Structure 1
Amino acid sequence: MRTLHVVTHPEATHHVEGVVGGWHDSRLTSVGVRAAASIARALRARIPDGTEVELYSSDLRRTRETAGPVAEVFGVEPVLDRRLREKSYGEAEGMPQEWLDRRFVPPPAVGERMDHDEGVRGAETKEVWARRVYAAMDEILRSPCEHQIIVTHGGSLTCVVASWIRMPIQSAGYAAFRAPSGSITTLREDDFFHNRQVVTLGDTRHLSPGTSA
């Protein structure tokens, strides 16, 4: 039985400052720091003692700071992987959200949805974004480890789940698996049928009031 515990980082400074995240290297707020500790405790309660655990994280500061308490409770070093980053928003990163909102071009309802930069210079297309997360997932899943923890971003969670259920890249253009900040999504593959389940999506029961964003 393989279980993936996919964490979306909790509240970060770009959330409260109202600026675009993406690759903007924001850090956790004090609320986010408390939530990261709650995430670590929740994962420790879910994963049996003595079980081998691997920890993977986006290399941006807010995800590294989320992975830190998790690494401490399990006694492991996180593997930092830039492919687990959020979608890059190019010139919009760190700009006021309303600046992006004025320029944002949504993808078409039908037709080509993956080769689309949303009207922002230097932004990743959804295809580039999805392919790098899929590649990271392929590498993670080559390990036979029973419990793997992945710390990523709210947007990239969609690509993680789509990859897990082997959704073709082009179909992922329509996918949206939404999860709150600081949530834990549980993915499981059984040893007999090798079916891949989405057991929970965006669970925040471990967060106390005031630690979710």
Structure 2
Amino acid sequence: MPADRLHLVRHGEVHNPRRVLYGRLPGYGLSEAGRRMARQAAEWVQSMDRPVAALWSSPLQRTRESAEPFTEIFGLEPRIDDRIIEPTNVFEGRRMVRALLNPWNWRHLRKPALPSWGEPYADVVARMNAAMTEAWESADSGDVVMVSHQLPIWITHLAVAGLPTQHDPRRRRCALSSVTSFEMVDNKWTEVAYAEPAATAGAVDVGAV
């Protein structure tokens, strides 16, 4: 039997004192508040009283650390999968406000529908779908938790809803340590729930791609 439900969990707050777009750069782990958020997300999944059969994680430090409370609560070691990683972005390591003030960088904004500044949205959707489908089909039953990043989760939401993937990053509904849940119905993904179980007031959330 396949899984019963699949939860895409975003990582918690990242220690990012320079407030740069961190992307896939190494060395960006959770802040103390971020660890609390990750714990709250895991406890919220536990509170649903649904068996969790598998845990997957992006390879980046912040997602691995966000998966740790799930390991502690459910006794599952995460499967690390590159397909649910943060997309590439030419602005990695920069503060976006400063970068966009430089006319030399405007060339990266010429095709926002792709987008021209990073990995194409269609590629993100395809790799996320492949990983989610494999996780769904490989579970004997129960739920699957996949700890990922804001853009892959939001793009998956848009694709499943049949909406255009071009969007305003400031309007994403994907808070730190949020949980977006899906089920496979008639061989198609259906979003069944979205929750923000973590206390994020005052959190710094400026580094997402």
TM-score category of the 2 structures, normalised to the smaller one: 0.7 to 0.9
Q: Deviations over 1:37-92 (max 9, x none)?
A: 111111111133xx3521111010000000011111000110011111111114x2
TM normalised by structure 2 equals 0.78
Structure 2 unaligned regions, length at least 5 = none
Amino acid at match of 2:198: L
Question: Alignment partner of 1:89: what SS?
Answer: coil
Residue 64 (structure 1) aligns with = 64
Q: Contact (CA 8 Å) 1:35, 1:211: kept in 2 or not?
A: no
* Structure 1: 5+ residue stretches without partners: none
Tell me which residue corresponds to 1:33: 35
Return closer, same or farther for 1:61/1:174 CA change in 2, 3 Å cut-off: same
What is the match of residue 97 of structure 1? Answer: 96
Q: Which residue of structure 2 aligns with residue 117 of structure 1?
A: 116
Matching residue of 1:85: 85
1:199 aligned residue (189, 192, 200)? 192
- Of structures 1 and 2, the one with the larger relative CO (CA 8 A, separation 6+) is 2
**Secondary structure of the corresponding residue to residue 179 of structure 1:** coil
Matched pairs, number: 193
Are positions 1:157 and 2:153 aligned together? yes
User: Aligned with 1:151: secondary structure?
Assistant: strand
Q: Is the 8 A contact 1:162 1:175 kept in 2?
A: no
Given that 2:158 and 2:165 are in contact with CA atoms closer than 8 Å, whether structure 1 keeps it comes out as: no
The counterpart of 1:188, out of the listed 183, 193, 196, is 183
Q: In the aligned structure 2, how far is the partner of 1:186 from the partner of 1:178?
A: 13
Q: How far apart, in 2, do the equivalents of 1:93 and 1:180 lie? A: 20
Structure 1 consecutive aligned stretches of length 4 or more whose deviation exceeds 6 Å:
none
